[in-house]
Amino acid sequence: MRVFSVFALLLGALVLVGCGEKIESEISGPSEKSIASAESLAALSLTPNERQMMRPALASQKQTYESLRQLNLENRERPGLRFDPELGYPSHEMQDMGPQYSSTPEIQRPENMNDLAFYTIGELGHLIRTRQISCLELTRFCLDRLKKHDPQLECVITLTQSRAEARARILDSMLARGEYLGPLHGIPYGVKDLLAVKGYKTTWGATPYRDQHVNETATVVKRLDAAGAVLVAKLTLGALAMDDVWFGGQTRNPWNVEEGSSGSSAGSAAAVAAGLVPFAIGTETLGSIVSPATRCGVTGLRPSFGRVSRNGAMALSWSMDKIGPIARSVEDCAMVFEAMRGADYKDPVAVDRPFHYLPEVDLKDVRIGYLKNVFEEEYYGASLDDDALSALRRSGAKLVPLEFPLQKYGVENPWDLIIILTAEAGAAFQELTLSNQDDLLVRQRQADWPNIFRAAQFIPAVEYIQANRARVRLQNMMREMFETVDVYVTPSLAGPSLMITNLTGHPQVVLPSGFLAVNKPHSISFVGGLYDEATTLAVAKAYQEATGWHKQHPEDFVE
């Protein structure tokens, strides 16, 4: 058997395209003028001789592009590369003793059923477990609220009523036999409509896919089914996971229906905020849980990269996409996360890691940092963020000032690495660019997907690799930071943390922290070490219980 080196193979390929007058005359390639024009896009400077020498190779590459495009790759087909948030350095070993939850006070079924709209999962679970309300009754309650308020909020794409009612009946029968599946037994919920559910459309919020059926059910939905949750609706998202505008309109903020709910987990955040469902599933690549949770005044968890299987979900960025819960409280998010997490052979990046969540934590025993230089900047909401730090100190936290040592690691502007996201998104939806179906998307501005996808076709593969190498520097920087703290506090949207942590895969909990003005919620965020959602949630819960902002709800949706 002969063994060829990669260099020999490359040399052979170059000989075919670059040597011999006959080959060069048949594949002359682009003109020197075209190459010179392309140089400016790639930030290169070549000599006339170098341009001439490149012509056959560029012609061969173009033929390769055209050949690859004939493969008609589907969105669900992953690249043969995967992002490793640990970089070969495993997280600290911890015994997986599972989560514990706060004890639920003895509550009675309310006289006014509308009060149920803003009960927590724990409270609703107590009513179900004690047979004060049936699974079917609660399911129909949520379906009725979705039907009543969706015309105002535009947060529902598809109701899954027949599936939900059938499942609720089964869950009631199980309870009658003494079978209880856990805290999500009989709890209704919604999913962002980029998660496939067999028998229902999966539209991705975008006109080209508004009639799409995916013949499978996402792993997340299967796991929530197994935990006893009841899917009642597929909720809106901004088209192809951007913002809050979809093919049917714009999802509204329940606190102020004159403005959008932000995105892209637009319907998930709006439906929870308005009390239409106790919890919903969102996704995040770069702020798609954090931003709508902030706008709508709800609590969200963006788990570590790889904690939750993405099988059955639309791919936007294979190395950055994450799935997480949006709910009324931190502990509600913990309950939902426990049901979703874990490895899945259908998603090779999904991993099993411990989740030993404890509902009570002494903040004095946790090393909590805060991004001092970011908090000291002038930005909208800075005073509320300062109030959040004060509340933590009053609760016993000894806050350690932190600063991202970006200069030390040579990545002074992490936003430069956004080409990782745009290159992967451009590949995931190249079919729209090539077929001109990108013209069907509702928004066509400079900062919208159609233009971004087109521009992404010009990102050199070399620069994509270089950006990923720089990404490793950020991972090393975060590893150094988490040697000194367990969790750090950050403004949810100000500063570089949102970009950095979405690149490095660290978990973030976002929760209400007050109001910027009347009916204008604000939030604060907690970021934890890789796979340490347990500590991050526990610290966030301590802050939430000390402040109580999550107990306020938009008045127009109380009835």
Select which of 192, 222, 234, 322 is catalytic. 192
User: What value does the mean pLDDT of the chain take?
Assistant: 94
Give the pLDDT band of residue 8 (cuts 50, 70, 90): very low
Tokens of 499: 């970009």
Q: Is the pLDDT of residue 10 over 70?
A: no
Across 143-154, average pLDDT: 98
Range list of H helices, 116-186? 121-129, 135-153, 161-176
Instruction: Give 198-210 pLDDT, tens digit per residue.
Output: 999 999 999 999 9
Select which of 134, 261, 262, 264 is catalytic. 264
Between 1 and 123, the more confident residue is 123
For the question of residue 40 being annotated catalytic, the response is no
Q: What is the DSSP letter of 412?
A: S
Q: What is the DSSP letter of 556?
A: G
Q: Is the pLDDT of residue 18 over 70?
A: no
Across 153-162, average pLDDT: 98
Instruction: Give 409-466 pLDDT, tens digit per residue.
Output: 999 999 999 999 999 999 999 999 999 999 999 999 999 999 999 999 999 999 999 9
Select which of 261, 262, 288, 309 is catalytic. 288
pLDDT for the residue 538: 98
* Angle subtended by helix axes 461-481 and 419-428, to nearest 10: 130
Which is it for strands 256-260 and 279-284: parallel, antiparallel or unpaired? unpaired
Residue range 113-351+362-405+470-557, CATH number: 3.90.1300.10
Share of the chain above pLDDT 70, in %: 94
pLDDT for the residue 105: 82
Across 359-384, average pLDDT: 97
**Terminus-to-terminus CA distance in the chain, angstroms?**
77
pTM, 2 dp = 0.93
Q: For 340, what's the count of Cα atoms within 13 Å in the CB-facing half-sphere?
A: 30
Instruction: Give 273-299 pLDDT, tens digit per residue.
Output: 999 999 999 999 999 999 999 999 999
What's the distance, CA 37 to chain centroid?
38
Tokens of 441: 């998307």
Task: Please state, in angstroms and rounded to a whole number, the distance separating the CA atoms of residues 121 and 340.
Answer: 15
Chain region(s) in the chain for CATH 3.90.1300.10: 113-351+362-405+470-557
For the question of residue 67 being annotated catalytic, the response is no
Task: Please state, in angstroms and rounded to a whole number, the distance separating the CA atoms of residues 76 and 210.
Answer: 17
pLDDT for the residue 91: 66
Q: Is the pLDDT of residue 1 over 90?
A: no
Backbone angles phi, psi at 197, to 5 degrees: -135, 115
Q: Is the pLDDT of residue 4 over 50?
A: no
Q: For 529, what's the count of Cα atoms within 13 Å in the CB-facing half-sphere?
A: 22
Across 57-67, average pLDDT: 91
pLDDT for the residue 12: 46
Task: Please state, in angstroms and rounded to a whole number, the distance separating the CA atoms of residues 220 and 224.
Answer: 6
Q: Is the pLDDT of residue 530 over 60?
A: yes
Q: Is the pLDDT of residue 14 over 70?
A: no
pLDDT for the residue 104: 84
Q: Is the pLDDT of residue 165 over 80?
A: yes
The angle at the Cα of 283, spanning 534 to 420, to the nearest 5 degrees, equals 105
Instruction: Give 302-333 pLDDT, tens digit per residue.
Output: 999 999 999 999 999 999 999 999 999 999 99
Which is it for strands 299-302 and 508-517: parallel, antiparallel or unpaired? antiparallel
Q: What is the DSSP letter of 347?
A: B
Instruction: Give 70-124 pLDDT, tens digit per residue.
Output: 999 999 999 999 999 998 777 666 667 889 999 988 899 999 999 999 999 999 9
Share of the chain above pLDDT 90, in %: 90
Q: Is the pLDDT of residue 24 over 70?
A: no
Give the pLDDT band of residue 25 (cuts 50, 70, 90): very low
pLDDT for the residue 380: 95
Task: Please state, in angstroms and rounded to a whole number, the distance separating the CA atoms of residues 215 and 422.
Answer: 28
pLDDT for the residue 401: 98
For the question of residue 264 being annotated catalytic, the response is yes
pLDDT for the residue 15: 41
Q: Is the pLDDT of residue 2 over 70?
A: no
Task: Please state, in angstroms and rounded to a whole number, the distance separating the CA atoms of residues 341 and 323.
Answer: 10
Q: Which residue reads 């080196």 in tokens? A: 5
Q: Is the pLDDT of residue 358 over 60?
A: yes
For residues 244 and 251, the answer to whether their CB atoms sit within 8 Å is yes
pLDDT for the residue 559: 85
Task: Please state, in angstroms and rounded to a whole number, the distance separating the CA atoms of residues 56 and 17.
Answer: 6
Task: Please state, in angstroms and rounded to a whole number, the distance separating the CA atoms of residues 347 and 329.
Answer: 29
